Amino acid sequence: MNFCSQCGEKVRFAIPEGDDRPRYLCESCGAIHYQNPRIVAGTLPVRGDRVLLCKRAISPRKGYWTLPAGYMENAETTREASARETREEAKAEVELGSLYTLIDLPHINQVYMIFLAELKSDYAAGEESLEVALFAEEEIPWQELAFPTIERTLAHFFEDRKQGHFPLHMSTITPEDRERYFGSA
């Protein structure tokens, strides 16, 4: 950020009085510009013993498989965002269950919130998907998953399904986890 969105003057990056971390400050109008994590909301749609995955048609990770998920919009709940993303990416309607995974990615300022969901309609590729398909556990393209959050969510699901119990899983993905997943490139 170079200029204040309130008055247009130059900003500086410093710790405001009474705060504990740097923010963009406008000395002209006094505005403090807070930047907060983005919430990625989505679903783990299930039909029978299969889960619905979408092959990404957009960057990042174009051509890789993911669960239907995306950035939450202002004025919507996480449940609304999850259902909307599923409609947009998979043209599917779901019945939302409970929050299933909450994964912090502090190094990229994101929080993933994935809800269990029952697939209630047909499905097709939306504008952000190249294709959409149902996968049994043994068919999951593990080496072609787009993000570590998706791999972690699916791994929890298939393990929990053996027990018939689906608790909330909370975890953090670190830069080291990303490096193991994507390599050092």
Phi and psi angles of residue 135, each rounded to the nearest 5 degrees, phi first: -130, 135
pLDDT tier, 183 (very low <50, low <70, confident <90, very high otherwise): low
Residues 31 and 43 in one domain: no
The pLDDT of residue 185 is 45
Entry pTM: 0.89
The mean pLDDT of 10-26, rounded to a whole number, is 95
The pLDDT of residue 178 is 66
Structural domain span for residue 122: 38-182
pLDDT at position 106 over 50: yes
More confident call, 185 vs 97: 97
Residues 31 and 115 in one domain: no
pLDDT at position 155 over 90: yes
% pLDDT > 70, the chain: 96
pLDDT at position 15 over 60: yes
Residues 114 and 167 in one domain: yes
* CB burial string 129-142: b at 16+ within 10 A, e below: beebbbeeeeebee
pLDDT tens for 28-37 read: 999 999 999 9
pLDDT tens for 60-86 read: 999 999 999 999 999 999 999 999 999
Total number of domains constituting the chain: 2
Residues 29 and 51 in one domain: no
pLDDT at position 181 over 80: no
Strands 169-172 and 94-105: parallel
Residues 174 and 115 in one domain: yes
Residue owning tokens 């689906």: 166
Distance of alpha carbon 159 from alpha carbon 153, whole angstroms: 10
Distance of alpha carbon 175 from alpha carbon 185, whole angstroms: 13
Distance of alpha carbon 108 from alpha carbon 147, whole angstroms: 13
Residue 169 maps to which CATH number?
A: 3.90.79.10
Residues 105 and 173 in one domain: yes
Residues 63 and 144 in one domain: yes
Residues 43 and 126 in one domain: yes
Residues 164 and 78 in one domain: yes
pLDDT at position 27 over 60: yes
Residues 19 and 71 in one domain: no
Residues 120 and 86 in one domain: yes
Rounded (10°) angle between helices 148-163 and 175-182 = 90
The mean pLDDT of 87-112, rounded to a whole number, is 97
Residues 151 and 88 in one domain: yes
Say how many C-beta atoms besides its own lie within 10 A of residue 184's C-beta: 5
Distance of CA 147 to the CA centre of its chain: 9
Residue 7 maps to which CATH number?
A: 2.20.70.10
pLDDT mean across residues, the chain? 95
pLDDT at position 125 over 90: yes
